[in-house]
Structure 1
């Protein structure tokens, strides 16, 4: 096992420093796969930058009240011609 094939981390299951190696990546990351597995117990960890944060909810569209809709409609109405 070469130095590029493994890293030494503290395994939370073993509670001690252990050798971690990359299992075959099924997600298509290749050598950049963030998943590493403890060679003693198999506990997996992700090593790398945290993913970019995404908003947890989408902004809701603002609904107009009937009064606002009525006012907007009057602004667009044709001009009245005095009789």
Structure 2
């Protein structure tokens, strides 16, 4: 079992959390942890997000009849 310290909402403080044996095949990268103080479980989820990119070809043209100052 591997251990990490996280804030436990039940214990209301920083506690040692351990990863139980993973039955899903994650190995050491298992996202499930259990508080050694009270037994509360947490799931650590990570997300990979791509940032949107502004593309010059997709910009909307100015509305017709709109005048720009010189």
TM range (shorter): 0.5 to 0.7
The answer to whether the aligner puts 1:8 opposite 2:12 as a matched pair is no
Unaligned stretches of 5+ in structure 1? 53-83
- Cα offset for 1:7? 0.9
- Cα offset for 1:42? 0.9
Between Structure 1 and Structure 2, which shows a larger proportion of helix residues? Answer: 1
- Cα offset for 1:51? 7.8
* Superposed structure 1 runs of 4+ greater than 3 Å apart: none
Q: What SS does the corresponding residue of 1:49 show, helix, strand or coil?
A: coil
- TM-score w.r.t. the length of structure 2 is 0.60
Alignment length, in residue pairs? 49
- TM-score w.r.t. the length of structure 1 is 0.51
Unaligned stretches of 5+ in structure 2? 50-70
**Which residue is equivalent to 1:27?**
24
Between Structure 1 and Structure 2, which shows a larger proportion of strand residues? Answer: 2
**Which residue is equivalent to 2:33?**
36
Structure (1 or 2) with the larger CA radius of gyration? 1
